[in-house]
Amino acid sequence: MIDKVLNVIGLFKELPEAIGYSIFGPLAFSLPKELQEAIGQSASKKIETVNVVYLKVDNFTNKEIRELSIMYGGSFSYTPNLNYERREIKPDHQQQEDKKVFLIKNIPPKDSVKIEIFLDQNETISIDNVLADGVLVTKWMQKIADIHRYPRFAIMYLAMLVMLGFTGWTAYSNWTTTENYKIVNESMSDWEGCSPYPFENNIESEKLLKREFLQQQNYHWLIFKLNKVNSFEELKLKDTVILCKPTSPKN
């Protein structure tokens, strides 16, 4: 079982490259009292709260994305805030409001762009499509990017699936074996058999041994096999003899 889980973990070392994005929000933030006083009473009444949507684009590849196009729906009045996750400079970007497209230039390998989008209470935004150098970021690529983004959770989830699958397979195998035993037992229900038991042999019990041995004449071959002898003369020399008591049919 452990080797199967380790095999799952090993798969993550060979994950294909991917580009993905995640969106979170909107989250509503109230303006602090000091900020409301600084912008004036009339303005603070107009914007008592600010809604923020967080959009993150991840480049989990070894190549630079020369141009990333984010096609969105909805509208917003405020200028978004963009930052690289690893670099301290601002990304080169452009917003085409008439086409509802964000254009971001030159995203380095293994880096991400974080975008904060500020909305009024009556404004909304949704992401329609994302293109990296003209190639659509598909749902499958998104799933691979999620694994890159949250590797521990993905490992735990897949390991759990492997364990559940193994448990289910074991339960099914046990059930199949039990059913097979039932079929065999039912087919042999009219057969006679015998139940082995030990017999302590000594000089005083030799006659009793012979008597029981003769009563079990149908199973002499089995008694010889169990005791590893070829005749009764060899059998009666053993201190402990395995005999086989006949059992009646189940039906």
Q: What tens digit of pLDDT does each residue of 29-56 get?
A: 766 666 666 666 655 555 667 788 888 8
In this prediction, residue 36 carries a pLDDT of 65
- Which residue numbers in the chain have pLDDT < 70? 1-17, 30-48, 149-163, 166, 177-193, 248-251
- CA 75, CA 68: separation in Å to the nearest integer? 20
The two tokens of residue 38 are 């600084």
Q: Is this prediction's pTM over 0.75?
A: no
Q: Which of 101, 107, 95, 98 is CA-nearest to residue 132?
A: 107
In this prediction, residue 39 carries a pLDDT of 65
In this prediction, residue 9 carries a pLDDT of 47
Q: CA-based angle 222:225:228, to the nearest 5?
A: 150
Q: Which of 118, 120, 30 is CA-nearest to residue 82?
A: 118
pLDDT digits (tens, 9 = 90+) for 229-244: 999 899 888 889 888 8
In this prediction, residue 158 carries a pLDDT of 63
- CA 100, CA 116: separation in Å to the nearest integer? 16
Backbone torsions φ then ψ of 40, nearest 5 degrees: 100, 155
The two tokens of residue 175 are 């059930």
- CA 107, CA 84: separation in Å to the nearest integer? 8
